[in-house]
Structure 1
Amino acid sequence: MKYRIKLLLAAVGLVVFACVEPYDLNFGSQKEILFIEADINDFDSLQYVIIKKNIPEPNNIVYRNIENAKVQLIEGTNKFYDCAYTTGGKYQLPKGFKAKTNTPYQLRIVMEGSTYESTLETVTPISPIERIYAQFAEKGIDFLGKKIDGHRIFLDTKDAETKGQYYMWQYKLYEKQSYCASCNGGRYFTTPAPLGRCVDDANLARRGVTYDYLCVSNCWDIIYSEEVNVMTDNYTNGQTIKGRLVANVPYYQFRNALIDIQQFSISKSAFDYFNIMVNQTQRNGTLADTPPAGLIGNIKNLSDKSEAVGGLFMVSSKTSKTFIIQRKESFGGLNAIGLFNGRQPTPEPMGNDTSRPPFAPCIESETRTKIQPIGWID
């Protein structure tokens, strides 16, 4: 959920997300707009509702975290889960909560004198991913406006006999990282622990030098999906979904990578939401291109139904499967772009000071981990 939220909020500067209908919004002249985002599923052990408001400016959007809301998830008709505020506009459901299939859920939020409620959403079961496989694509992957080498990742899965199934796919890619700190116009020092810091150096800054520092331990970068990938079973009902493209992975480096594919069974309203987003962004360019209109979601202000509320309350069933991308290609002309957006690493040169260059720690975050991914093969 964390990286889907990150993707959606990144694009919200251009689109007010929703699953139902277009809604023309001019951020420069609108009042503050509330965004509510939740993915309630039967898979993750920690689940959140995220609430933010945008502060409109003429050429920019700044988000303010909502910290004093009363947030409840309603299961069926009479079971209530209170969500506790953490940080960053996040309200956490009780630890260990998992949604139940074929059970309706509704989100209720009380804040600033208003009550907001979502539509009723029901979790439908999901079939497991049967097979994942890769195909090398020479100069076939889009990356920073260029066509580069990489792999297309496909899967097979069995669609349920029930009509009206809707799917969404996301992924997390794990790439082993050798460098854990970079200093632009400066040098890295290990104090203060545990993060250390970059100390500016006027000479290096003047020359535009960036130094990179090796990791003190094993470390993996985590790269997330950047496209919305949804599908309806209108043409595959009860059949095997074969060869669904779920990822385009650049040839970052010559060693193996691990990809974790996540498959969701989503509601029709969620499918409509994401499908409109695809039509207005991915099919009109990229998430950086201004779409023709914004969108509103499935959450309403009960006391002011004219208020446009961005975001989506989604319930889903979720399954995942990992796959090792074995980079075996060795023909001439094959280039690995590295993990610095095409920039090659530049270690600080060794000098008379034998304590330099120092090693940097692998700091746990949403985009980096020192914990070996399950299924990893060197």
Structure 2
Amino acid sequence: MTKLIRLVLWLLVIAVSLAACIDPYEPDANYNLDVLVIDGFLTDLDEPQIVTLNRSRTEKLTGRFGVLPVSRAALTLLIDGQQTVAFSETAPGTYQLPTGIRGQAGRRYQLQLLLSDGTRYVSTEEVMPTAPAISRVYQRFNSASIVATNPARLLPANDFFIDTNDPAKQPNFYRWDWKAWEKQPWCRSCYQGRYQIFDDQQRLVEGCVTNFTIQGYLDYSCRTPCWEILQSTQLNLLADIYTDGRTIGGRLVGQIPYLHAGPCLVEIRQVALTKEAFMYFRQLEVQTQNAGGLADVPPNAPIGNVRNLANEREAVVGYFGATSVARVRYWLNRSANTGPPIANTLFEAQTGRIPQEDGRVAALCVPGPTRTPIKPEGWQE
């Protein structure tokens, strides 16, 4: 699940929860929720181009909030109003363009969507802007960088900064993200069970099989090299109203947690947004910052740029956009970090416990948004 989807769904949960706690001023107010949530940004990088579809709803009787992936939809990318490219569904609610398809700055892109019930949606067209290059990436260790809760404390991290030259005499809208790859020696944990490759009839299992005689966890090392993928969770936005044509210097763009003393590979991404996408993210940023107390007005997940062709009044949450990306990869060996890390190992930082190795078999490194068996470009070990 991407950062945008997590933020949007969090807003939906907060909106429903706060609405239930506030005396209604409108007697006809209806807090039942049933909305389509779309998340996808076409980039100009050679990477998977993915759109996710989910339906967020509350149960009418209990008011409980849930999210269901939307499967069996037909998604098409319209390029410059002429060429079309079809998406394929790679997992429930996850749709991907063919390998090698990516955006180009200056071209127009639109998402067309047909649900299995015949409902049609389209996004507004977006012309992909050009992302200026990152001039410099640098970092410094900060022993009190990240605000954490439960318990409340400040966690150590390597703070990353960039310098970039803003193009003059044109509006530019930026978003910064980061991604980090950490070597992961542990690929599966089974609670009250064991990991099996085959069952007794030699049928492929490749997963945990329940065994209630086993107490607690058993952990399994990776069968092949494996890397954990960490990603930023905060929105970091800027419009060049006050920096047009000047150097944007010393911009804090990432806080890479000092999880353990080992090295990691960091990618800093400078994303060029359209004005409309920037305004959407800005609204999302303001609402996530302000949805803090019962005195606040219940937030609404911002409506994006996708509409129902037959029902203009339907609220569709999320955004489909076209973004150009400048990126730099940085090898962070952490040798200059002072003070202790958050944990002794990545596994301990993630789980809060020491691994209990079974040792009978090793587990697969299953590729996905948070893990890969493919050595990332720039890894130095």
Which TM bucket (shorter chain)? 0.7 to 0.9
The answer to whether the aligner puts 1:106 opposite 2:130 as a matched pair is no
Matches within 5 A, 1:292-311: 292-311=299-318
When the two structures are superposed, what TM-score results if normalisation uses the length of structure 1? 0.82
In structure 2, do the counterparts of structure 1 residues 267 and 182 end up closer, same or farther at CA, with 3 Å as the change threshold? Answer: same
| 1:117 counterpart residue number | 122
In structure 2, do the counterparts of structure 1 residues 33 and 49 end up closer, same or farther at CA, with 3 Å as the change threshold? Answer: same
| 2:22 counterpart residue number | none
Match of 1:168 among 171, 175, 178: 175
Q: 1:337 Cα deviation (Å)?
A: 5.8
| 1:19 counterpart residue number | none
2 CA distance for matches of 1:372 and 1:13? 37
2 CA distance for matches of 1:185 and 1:114? 44
Unaligned runs of 5+ in 2: 16-27
| 1:352 counterpart residue number | none
1 CA distance for matches of 2:112 and 2:361? 51
| 1:278 counterpart residue number | 285
The answer on whether the counterparts of 1:3 and 1:224 sit within 8 Å (CA) in structure 2 is: no
Query: Could you tell which deviates more after superposition, 327-336 or 114-123?
Result: 327-336
The answer on whether the counterparts of 1:109 and 1:117 sit within 8 Å (CA) in structure 2 is: yes
The answer on whether the counterparts of 1:74 and 1:107 sit within 8 Å (CA) in structure 2 is: yes
1 CA distance for matches of 2:68 and 2:208? 28
1 CA distance for matches of 2:208 and 2:40? 35
Q: Output the amino acid matched with 2:139.
A: A
Matches within 5 A, 1:12-161: 13-14=12-13, 29-30=31-32, 32-57=34-59, 58-69=63-74, 71-111=75-115, 112-145=117-150, 146-161=153-168
The answer to whether the aligner puts 1:344 opposite 2:353 as a matched pair is yes
Query: What secondary structure does 1:347 align onto?
Result: coil
The answer on whether the counterparts of 1:28 and 1:56 sit within 8 Å (CA) in structure 2 is: no
Match of 1:195 among 200, 203, 206: 206
The answer on whether the counterparts of 1:171 and 1:262 sit within 8 Å (CA) in structure 2 is: yes
1 CA distance for matches of 2:283 and 2:95? 27
Q: 1:144 Cα deviation (Å)?
A: 4.8
2 CA distance for matches of 1:250 and 1:65? 34
1 CA distance for matches of 2:366 and 2:112? 36
| 1:375 counterpart residue number | 378
The answer on whether the counterparts of 2:141 and 2:337 sit within 8 Å (CA) in structure 1 is: no
Q: 1:280 Cα deviation (Å)?
A: 1.0
The answer on whether the counterparts of 2:73 and 2:113 sit within 8 Å (CA) in structure 1 is: no
2 CA distance for matches of 1:325 and 1:282? 30
Query: What secondary structure does 1:294 align onto?
Result: coil
In structure 2, do the counterparts of structure 1 residues 68 and 330 end up closer, same or farther at CA, with 3 Å as the change threshold? Answer: closer
Unaligned runs of 5+ in 1: 17-25, 350-355
| 1:3 counterpart residue number | 2
The answer on whether the counterparts of 2:172 and 2:272 sit within 8 Å (CA) in structure 1 is: yes
Greater RCO (CA < 8 Å, at least 6 residues apart): 1
1 CA distance for matches of 2:342 and 2:89? 46
The answer on whether the counterparts of 1:182 and 1:211 sit within 8 Å (CA) in structure 2 is: yes
The answer to whether the aligner puts 1:256 opposite 2:263 as a matched pair is yes
**Cα deviation per residue 1:240-272 (whole Å; 9 max; x = unaligned)?**
211221211211111111111222111111111
**Cα deviation per residue 1:112-144 (whole Å; 9 max; x = unaligned)?**
444322222111111122222111111322345
Q: 1:377 Cα deviation (Å)?
A: 2.2
Q: Percent same amino acid among aligned pairs?
A: 30
Misfit runs of 4+, over 6 Å: none
Query: Could you tell which deviates more after superposition, 130-139 or 93-102?
Result: 93-102
How many matched pairs? Answer: 355
Instruction: Give RMSD over aligned pairs.
Output: 3.1
